[in-house]
Amino acid sequence: MSALENRPVTVIGAGIGGLTAALALARRGAQVTVLERAPELGEVGAGIQISANAVRVLDALGLGTALDGAALRTDAVQLNDERGRRVLRMDLRAHRPEARFLLIHRARLIGLLADAARQAGVTIQLGVTAADADGLTIAADGLRSTYRAALNGQQVPFFTGQTAWRALIPDPGGAPVAQVFMAARRHLVSYPLPGGLRNIVAVEERPDWQDEGWSHPGDPDRLRAAFAGMGGPVPGWLAQVDHTHLWGLFRHPVAARWHDDRLALLGDAAHPTLPFLAQGAGMAIEDAWTLAACLHTIPDQPQALARYQALRQPRVTRIVDAANANARNYHFGGVMRIGAHSVLRVADRLAPSLMPGRFDWLYDFDPAEQIP
């Protein structure tokens, strides 16, 4: 019998991490309540890439068919220079025919997770700001987690000097390719979404910004001015932006302490990351699997929580470090850029399978092989 059978668990936060954890725990027999301070479920209108490592977990939780109906499957990731000329194309289907890399609207993913969790018996309470909870508590309360601070003390995050703009535009029929356009001190990532939409994330080095958070409304003209001069399809996309949000990008250390005897951190609460590897939600989804599996197989709760941290911390630290390195690589200027782009172009022509292979450790991972 599962050590979680009929155990009450409170999950704080109904983001991607909290809802996946609630579903994973309920599938193992726990009685789960999710507390979410927002009055409604959902997120700022935007897309998200869910890579194969996280899709594997969602499949194992029974969401595969619903996901495939709600998402586009990515064919490739293409790096381009500032003028829109291809530098490198990584064909995801050729390198990993079985693995799915998905593009989905965030609100849709949250909706799928919430529906599945409720069907598995989870209670979701909206408009409730958790201060403390009885019994086993999973803090999936995001980037500004008060529970991380309670376990680790207040830490001052480090501003990277970069701000990110995010926008959605109409774009029916876009090929399912995640495109990156790299220039000195800025880059832009874009991919299509189901429903004839296109997601844009544009990152600019801007040392004056100081506020961390999600929902600062931005000025579309300021976005167009900041990315003027980029070629290819970029000017046409930016011309269509009529709403945008922007926020500062901060670096936080991975938390040293993820748990005490009755509380565990999960997702951004434990390891906020820069978005340059598109893995924040993926790591939260992996955490959810591992946490539920540890609590299911190890009856002693403190031991189970310690095992969860021991299994997860090395991997998320490697991922956060790789995302930090990408921030530098995309923004090379001058001679460094010419050199880096030439190497990538040669690799693209001579060994097209080489580059995707660099991330096998990331995308081929299955947390169920570590702990079923």
**Residue 15 binds ligand FAD (CB under 6 A):** yes
Q: How many residues bind ligand FAD (CB under 6 A)?
A: 32
**Residue 216 binds ligand FAD (CB under 6 A):** no
> Is 330 known to be catalytic?
no
Tell me the three state secondary structure of residue 304.
helix
Which CB atom, from 269 or from 311, has the smaller least distance to ligand FAD? 269
Distance CA 320, CA 189 (A): 19
Structure tokens at 254: 């991975």
- State the sign of the Cα–Cα–Cα–Cα dihedral 357, 358, 364, 369: positive
Contact with ligand FAD (CB under 6 A): which of 17, 176, 356, 367?
17
Which CB atom, from 205 or from 341, has the smaller least distance to ligand FAD? 205
**Residue 179 binds ligand FAD (CB under 6 A):** no
Contact with ligand FAD (CB under 6 A): which of 4, 11, 16, 113?
16
- Binding to ligand FAD (CB under 6 A) within 150-169 occurs at 164, 166
**Residue 25 binds ligand FAD (CB under 6 A):** no
**Residue 129 binds ligand FAD (CB under 6 A):** yes
Indicate the DSSP class of residue 335.
H
Which CB atom, from 14 or from 341, has the smaller least distance to ligand FAD? 14
Contacts of 19 (CB under 8 A, 6+ apart): 34, 110, 113, 114, 117
Please report where in the chains the tokens 């921030």 appear, as a residue: 327
> Which residue out of 147, 191, 308, 363 is catalytically annotated?
191
Q: Which of 303, 322, 293 is nearest to 20 (CA)?
A: 293
- Binding to ligand FAD (CB under 6 A) within 229-268 occurs at 267-268
Q: With b meaning 16 or more CB within 10 Å and e meaning fewer, what string describes 75-101?
A: bbbbbbbbeeeebbbbbbeebbeebbb
- Binding to ligand FAD (CB under 6 A) within 266-295 occurs at 267-269, 275, 278-282, 284
Q: Which of 165, 336, 309, 159 is nearest to 237 (CA)?
A: 165
Contact with ligand FAD (CB under 6 A): which of 11, 26, 201, 304?
201
Which CB atom, from 101 or from 307, has the smaller least distance to ligand FAD? 101
DSSP run (H or E) holding 166: strand 158-170
Contact with ligand FAD (CB under 6 A): which of 4, 9, 10, 13?
13
Name the pairing type of β-strands 76-80 and 177-183: parallel
Indicate the DSSP class of residue 268.
G
**Residue 99 binds ligand FAD (CB under 6 A):** no
**Residue 192 binds ligand FAD (CB under 6 A):** no
Name the pairing type of β-strands 47-50 and 123-126: unpaired
Distance CA 278, CA 281 (A): 8
- With beta carbons less than 8 A apart as the criterion, state whether 160 and 251 touch: yes
Which CB atom, from 102 or from 305, has the smaller least distance to ligand FAD? 102
Which CB atom, from 88 or from 266, has the smaller least distance to ligand FAD? 266
Contact with ligand FAD (CB under 6 A): which of 3, 7, 31, 37?
37
CA 75 to chain centre: 19
Q: What are phi and psi of 188, to 5 degrees?
A: -135, 135
**Residue 29 binds ligand FAD (CB under 6 A):** no
> Least distance from C-beta 285 to ligand FAD, angstroms?
8
Residues involved in catalysis: 191
- Residue numbers at the binding site for ligand FAD (CB under 6 A): 12-18, 35-38, 48-49, 129-130, 140-143, 164, 166, 201, 267-269, 275, 278-282, 284
